[in-house]
Structures are given as structure tokens and as C-alpha cells.
Amino acid sequence: MDRRTNPAAGTDPLLQLTDAPILPTGPSATRHLTHPQDLALRGIPVMCSACCARRDWLLINHGRNVWVICRCGNQWLEPEITRADFDALIFFPDGTVYPSIDQALAALGFDGTFAGTYLD
């Protein structure tokens, strides 16, 4: 149900709950987190091997794996970041659900469009 087809949902809290997106959960869920600050693993700052960026990351968690993605579009699997580490970083999930990883990367500006810039 969508607010465009149900105008009463804008004022009724119960109808708003039925219209809210269902966030992916469970071990097969894919979640994302923007991390604008520096990221240090075991005391060593993370740096993009393609453009030498040192901050403004996108972290994507799927299962036990966490990938780090730079604004230039470079991405890598980071075995030093566990699912528990990811969960500790994600205080308030933004609730946005994207149909695919590629659409999430484009919408969040991590597809190479903003290569060489920091957005903060």
C-alpha cells in the first residue's frame, strides 16, 4: 500500500506503520552504512588503493562479510571488519531499502561519480 493510493495514511499512525518499508533482517540481509570519518583497523588507517582517500566510506554487510567502498568506486572485502563490528557501528539504520547494490551505490554517490571528493 502506498500513500498515493491511501491519502489517510499521512495522518493515521497505524496506517503509516503498514506503509513503512520492511527492513531486511537475518543472516542473508544486505545492509549498508555510510562512514564519513576516518576508519582505522588495528590502529592502521584505511586508505583507498585507487585514489588514496582516507575517509568517507560506505560499508556493506552481507552475512559475515563486510565490504568497504570508496567514493571513486573502488571496493574491497575487509576481513578485519566483522558483522559484530558492523553492528556496533550502525546505531540508527536509515531505513532506506534499495532494490539492488548497484542502485544503492548510485543513490549514495559511491559509484565513482564523486571520485576525488569528500561529502560531509
What is the band of 100 on the pLDDT scale with cuts at 50, 70, 90? confident
How does pLDDT run across 8-45, given as a tens digit for each residue? Answer: 455 666 555 555 555 556 667 788 899 999 999 989 99
What are the grid coordinates assigned to 62, written together? 552481507
In a domain? residue 116? no
The stretch 44-54 carries a mean pLDDT of 94
Rg value, the chain, Cα: 17
What are the grid coordinates assigned to 63, written together? 552475512
The stretch 34-62 carries a mean pLDDT of 93
pLDDT, residue 5, reads 45
Query: Residue 2: is its pLDDT beyond 50?
Result: no
In a domain? residue 118? no
- Alpha carbon distances (Å) from 115 to 36, 107, 109, 110: 14, 14, 9, 8
pLDDT, residue 112, reads 85
Q: What is the pTM of this model?
A: 0.70
In a domain? residue 48? yes
In a domain? residue 69? yes
Asked whether 86 and 59 are in contact (CB, 8 A), the reply is yes
In a domain? residue 5? no
Q: What's the structural domain count of the chain? A: 1
In a domain? residue 4? no
Asked whether 70 and 119 are in contact (CB, 8 A), the reply is no
Which residue range forms the structural domain that includes residue 70?
A: 24-108
In a domain? residue 115? no
Handedness of CA 98, 96, 71, 47 (dihedral sign): negative
